Amino acid sequence: QSSTASSENYLTEGHFDFNRVGDYFNSKKTTLAFCAEDCTSTVSKIVYDTQTDTLIGFSLPLDQNGLPIAKSYSTNSFTCLENWYLNDPIAKSLGAHLIQPLSSSLENISPYLLAVYGTNNKFKSPDVIARWGYIYRQCKAKGVRVIGY
């Protein structure tokens, strides 16, 4: 429990944690990876995240790279909050992006959880292609070669 709650292991909704990808792969002594993304249905509800001062449970908008915009729902205005509840989509699914290290050893290596976020699964193929390209470039910059999705 305590390690999950620590700031080092804390997940921020919609944040793609490329900073620790290289370290994880170096610790596993591999540079090759396969990426996967999947969604699962969730019970929709809005909760307040005290560590990021944001509301979690809305469907995050996507940026030009097809990535969710983290911390999109942070406000001190009741009017803004009310507007979100009335007009913005609530996430019906939880999206997860994982990177599986590939190794020639017989050791089973756990995948690296790159990001997780709420979504309404409404996106277009250019969003996916842009996201894959961005993930590829960011991983390459950290010394990790993505060979497939």
Asked if the model's pLDDT at residue 62 lies above 90, the reply is: yes
**Alpha helix locations (H) across the chain?**
2-5, 21-27, 78-87, 125-141
**Does residue 83 contact residue 10 with C-beta atoms inside 8 Å?**
no
Asked if the model's pLDDT at residue 98 lies above 80, the reply is: yes
Give the predicted TM-score (pTM) of the model.
0.85
Task: Name the token pair of 136.
Answer: 């590829």
Please provide the average confidence, as pLDDT, over all residues in the chain: 90
Q: What is the pLDDT of residue 4?
A: 40
**Does residue 18 contact residue 138 with C-beta atoms inside 8 Å?**
yes
Structure confidence by residue, pLDDT tens digits, 99-144: 999 988 777 899 999 999 999 988 899 999 999 999 999 999 999 9
Of 71, 63, 62, the C-alpha closest to 15 is 71
Q: What is the pLDDT of residue 104?
A: 80
Q: What is the pLDDT of residue 11?
A: 84
Q: What is the pLDDT of residue 143?
A: 94
Q: What is the average per-residue pLDDT within 18-36?
A: 93
